Amino acid sequence: MATQPMAPTHAVVHSHHVPRRRQCVRRRGIFIRSAAAAAASSVVPTDTLSAAFWDYNLLFRSQRDECPDPVPLGVTEGAIPPDFPAGTYYLTGPGMFSDDHGSTVHPLDGHGYLRSFRFHPGDGRVLYSARYVETAAKREESGDGDGASWRFTHRGPFSVLQGGKKVGNVKVMKNVANTSVLRWGGRLLCLWEGGEPYEVNPCTLKTLGPFDLLGLAGSDDKPPPRENASARRTQRPWLQEAGLDVAAHLLRPVLSGVFNMPGKRLLAHYKVDPRRGRLLMVACNAEDMLLPRSNFTFYEFDAHFDLIQKREFVVPDHLMIHDWAFTDSHYVLLGNKIKLDIPGSLLAVTGTHPMIAALAVDPSKQSTPVYLLPRSPEAEARGRDWSVPIEAPSQMWSVHVGNAFEEENRRGGLDIRLHMSGCSYQWFHFHRMFGYNWQHKKLDPSFMNAVKGKEWLPRLVQVAIELDKRGACRRCSVRRLSDQCARPADFPAINPSYANHKNRFIYAGAASGSRRFLPNFPFDSVVKIDVSDGSAQWWSTEGRKFVGEPAFIPTSDGEDDGYVLAVEYAVSEHRCNLVVLDARKIGKKNALVAKLEVPRHLTFPMGFHGCWGDE
């Protein structure tokens, strides 16, 4: 379906101006905006094109109000089923996009806003809370944390400040803790792609402070790793490797001292190995963004955050990794190839372009490099040169991984399967993601809905790799997970008990294709794919509503015995609803078992990633 042009930014902005300052009062522990402000913010043009533009922008509208004291959610449809487990669904994402001095930032640079939905199945109640993660940047930019007046001083790597200092502003990296949330070892951590996690009280959502996970792993009072953690390097020519070492040595103090970048940055995506009871995380070196090599350090922690294993790999490629995978024997990286953009770097330094403009995608190869890095001694013993990637036979930018697993094959080798989402290099654009344009204060949804080819936008695929007993690749293929799900889709999720196991079902956010002006994003459906036969079943919203990332909550041993949670964003009604779907009934009329309504004054912007924590 051809995408219609979106409404001009200036035409919409001037027709319905919303005051930036909101008067709030506090009642019973909750901030409530004035009725006048609420009425002004809910005015939306009635013609379809302008409505679509506004729907998209309302999905990323700031929510300044917090809800530290839990409030019960009203059930508008169905009821919480009696077998739903007691626990809490945590969802994080950006909450603040615009300040009081004319600046609007990219969604990836929005301050982290943590939401929690605490389920009490005994009495059918669900209690909702929401608070900002009190990072150092948040306290500085929100007027010492009181939120009375916001002034963005950090650009953030993806944004340009319209109302702040541009030229010479080296305050780029601000840890916004807005990307994912982790419940592990009795702790609740909010993660970001460029800094250490922030720990939050899992009950009150009060920020406890930075959690020095890498320092904890390397401290003297912790047991040493159970295997050699020395860096594994590639066989690059000695002179070239020495030159890169010198460049890295010169770059580190500049990145750290001038731009306040940590020497190692944890990736926001983590993995849990349920079979071994381990938390897996990976970090990159700060200078990797600027050099034609990449350092990856993998950490494995037990339930007490004691370090069990640490492995470091130096890959001879300029890569940007957002999500990754693991199997019993390997860490799996799909290499998103990037390159330094010299003109973009000069513009970024001036402050007129975002810092991410210094990088560009590198579509020089028509394949996708897949790095199988040895996790176990058995994988290393096979003798395969891990520094040489397997080339998957299609060019694809890796977005998110749903699951990965391995099985022994008849030849004494391994069959590795990845279920994931990926998009094209032609569509992916660093500083235009979500339709951000630093020259305007509104998002342009036409970018996220542009269609120039069937395989451009994110779609769900399976990567299949066959290794022989020596670890050599016999074949590698990439195919759609389901021909019945040919529409854009992302945020793949599974029953977490089946992580690193052969799974049958994948759940994801998807586009139904029924919308004329926003056909591909935001998503309006949850799709359930049966990998065994490629069939797909759908649950879709009605009217001008969208859905976020699905999360699977298991109730028994069966792979699809459980419920799927997703937030429904009814932006035209200025509402957020939490929907509970019966995973076994998706595709049937009675799939929706409950819908819970967040109070209107607490309506929140679109979240990124969430997690479930049992009581």
Write out the binding residues for Fe cation. 322, 400, 609
Name the binding residues. Answer: 322, 400, 609
Strand partners, 140: none
Whether residue 465 contacts residue 186, with contact meaning beta carbons closer than 8 Å, is answered with no
Degrees to nearest 5, angle at CA 148 with 144 and 153 = 55
Omega before residue 496 within 30° of 0, cis: no
The DSSP-derived string for 416-432 is EEEEEEEE-TTT--GGG
CA distances to 405, 435, 545 from 107, rounded to whole Å, are: 33, 9, 20
Q: For the chain, what is the radius of gyration of the CA atoms?
A: 23
Contact of 447 with 429, CB cutoff 8 Å: yes
**CA–CA distance, 560 with 346 (Å, rounded to integer):** 52
Per-residue DSSP letters for 38-78?
HHHHT---SSHHHHHHHHHHHTT------EEEEEEPEEEEE
SS3 (DSSP) at 255: helix
Q: What is the largest CA-CA distance in the chain?
A: 71
Q: Are 273 and 308 in contact (CB under 8 A)?
A: no
Closest CA to 440 of 60, 49, 10: 10
In order of 286, 496, 497, 552, 583, the CA distances from 562 in angstroms are 41, 11, 11, 7, 6
C-alpha 207, offset from chain centre? 21
Phi and psi, residue 38, nearest 5°: -65, -40
Q: Measure the CA–CA gap between 266 and 196, rounded to whole angstroms.
A: 7
Task: Calculate ∠ Cα 376-336-359, nearest 5°.
Answer: 130
Half-sphere exposure of 333 (CA within 13 A, CB side): 30
Q: Are residues 429 and 457 in contact, defined by beta-carbon separation less than 8 angstroms?
A: no
User: Coil, strand or helix: which one is 114?
Assistant: strand
In terms of residues, how long is the chain?
615
Q: For residues 427 and 453, give the distance between their C-alpha atoms in angstroms, rounded to a whole number.
A: 10
- The Cα 113–Cα 111 span in angstroms is 6
| Residue linked to tokens 């909101």 | 22
Instruction: Measure the CA–CA gap between 147 and 394, rounded to whole angstroms.
Output: 48
The CA–CA distances, whole Å, from 499 to 405, 407, 503 equal: 8, 14, 8
